[in-house]
Structure formats: structure tokens, C-alpha cells
Structure 1
Amino acid sequence: MMNRIKQYGMTLIELMLACAMGAVLLMVLSSVFASGLNSASRIGLQLSFDSQLHDLGQFIRADLRRAGFSLEGENAGTVRWADAPQTVYVSATQDCIAYAYELAEGGIEKVRFSSLYLNEEGELKLYTKQQSLAEPPKNIASACSGGEVITVSSEMLLTGFTVDLAQFPLIAVVMSARSPVSGAQDSSQLNVAVLN
């Protein structure tokens, strides 16, 4: 009589069932992983967009507070663009603001003339020109042209930029923006107190 040795292992059907169950489990896990990556990417884009809008607001607030600043105090109230009625000028359409302030750079006293305005492409442009105190002020007619783009249009498009001087020396700057990447929209209102 032949002795049969008992073999332990899986039958072909059991092996096929285990492979099928493993494949289904891998599909579910990969779907969850892909969904998590998409969510993380969306959240990252939103945080980047919000951070850029916040940083832009902080830059505008910090620079605008200096409007009319005089180093020695003897020029107080006169540090402005030529023909500007006051230290801060806003265009009739309220989409361009121009201001000036004195500063010392490398021991040399200068005036910095600045303006901010929204161009047709939804980018905020900053014009700056520094010159010595002895030179005549810049003419306000050139305030809302030229300069460099300070917002990255591939990450943030400004859909609105308005400035209100109704409560001067408190200046209200309202910005609304849209992310061309995620489509997210946000707005921000800055109430900037001119310190001079």
C-alpha cells in the first residue's frame, strides 16, 4: 500500500481568488491615494494664493504708511508728486494711487516716488523712482504708467483694485483676485493709516 504524503498549500482556485482580492484592494488604495494627492494639491494652491494676496496687502500697507514722510520734518506735508493736491493722490477712476516719501540710502537723503495701478492683464504694477531731494518732484501725469509688475499673473490675477481717500489720512484699498490655476476667488480690504 502506498502512503500519500499530505501536501499543504493553495489550490489554483484559492490562488486566483487571493490575486483577485489583492487587485481589488490595490485599486481601492490607489484611488484613495490619488484622491488624497488631488486634495493636497488643491489645498496647497489655495494656501499659496491666499498667501500671495496677504503678502501683497502687507507690502502695500507698509509702503503706503510712509506717504509724505519727511526725514528732518522740515518738508512735512510737501513730500508729494508735483500737482498732487495732497501727499497721496488717487486717480479719478480710483484705480491708481501715487505717493512719495523721503528716505536715507547709503547716507544720502532721497525722495521715493511710487504709484500702484492695475493694468489690463489683471496685474498690479508698481512704479518707483528715487531721486535726490534737490531735484524737482515727479509730475503726477506720469504716475499711472510704466513700472514693473509685482503680481505673478500665472498664480494670481487681480480682478479689482480701488482706492478710497474719503476718510484721509485713513486710506481704504480694496483688492479682489482670482487664481488662474484653481479658479479660487478672494478679496481683501486694507485700511491704511498714513502716519505722517
Structure 2
Amino acid sequence: MRSDNVTKGSERAPNRSLFYALGYTPEELERPLIGVVSAYSEIVPGHMNLDKIADAVKAGVEMAGGTPILIPAIGVCDGIAMGHVGMKYSLASRELICDSVETMLMAHQLDGLVLVPNCDKIVPGMVMAAVRMDVPAVVCSGGPMLAGSYGGEEVSLSKMFEAVGAYKAGMITDEQLEDCTCNCCPSCGSCSGMYTANSMNCLCEAIG
């Protein structure tokens, strides 16, 4: 296994000592070391539930005979970054994510990855790293946001852009705009609609 480079032999005793500092046991170091790469944060709606998914993934890795190791990943919410200088950072973050996943994988000689992303640049960024390093990997995304409700119809974030246009055209009031704002995005999850996040998640499902 790749992880033998950090867990086996007398010359790797210092490496093992640091694993023991983390609470791992000798038995756990005999198993495949599986990185669970989670993009959980409290700034991206599509990622606010990923901590729970990562916990379930870790339990599954243990049940399958591996040793799960949680690794963080950054993620930009394209919707919040939209309309100001922040959008210049969105696409660049994909490369940062890819490079950081590769760095953690190779620096710690992990045997495989379970990727826990959800939103626009995070899914491709993580997958790019797995493909580039030719490492066994599974993608377990956070799933889409529930549909919102406005004017008796099911709506998504795209309705908000329409509402802004309608407001500027004098077609709806301040109160109607605020009503739409408060009801378009009712839950965690990637923005409902076939934008990058959901299309990339569908692609990952399709290619297995």
C-alpha cells in the first residue's frame, strides 16, 4: 500500500509516532489509510450539511476495513461571490482545491479518497485531483437544495434574478421582492437547477 511509506519499518518510527499523537492505534495503521475530504463550511449553503455526511462516510470506511482520516477543503459559494470582486476568485479556487487535495494525499501517502463536495468548483476540483493522481476515489456529494415557494409556485435561485429584474422594471414591490428573497432558498444543498454543481454531481453519478 502507498501508506506503507509512512507506517512501516524502523525508519518510519518517527512518522508512526506522529500518527500515535493523533490517537491512531497500531491496528489502524495496518489498514488502508483513506482520506475523507470534506468541504464543510458555514458560508456555503451547499456545504453546511457536509459534516454529517463526512461522519457517515468515516463510519462506512471503518466498517469496510479502512482507517478514515478527515481532511478539510475550501469552497466558494458562487452565488454569494457573484456581482462583486469575489467572483474573480471562484474559478481560481478550483485549482487551489485540486492542488490542496493532491498535496494532502501525497504528503501523507494516503491509499484512497472519499470526496465530500457539492458546489460549483469544488466537485471538479476534487475529482481533478483524484484523476491526476490516479488514486481510488469515491464521490459522495451533499445533494441539491429543496425547491422554494413563491406566489404559489415552486421556485429556485434563478427566480431571484428574475425578481430583481422585475423590481427594477417596477413590476413588483419592495415587499414582494423581500418575500421572494426569503422563500427561494429554503434549505441546505446545492442551488436547485442544472448549474455547475448539480450537472457535475450528475456526471459523477453517471461515470461511477
Same fold? TM cut 0.5: no
The one of the two structures with greater contact order (alpha-carbon pairs below 8 A, sep at least 6) is 2
Q: Select the structure of larger CA radius of gyration.
A: 1
Q: Give the TM bin, normalised by the shorter chain.
A: under 0.3
**TM-score normalised over the length of structure 1:** 0.25
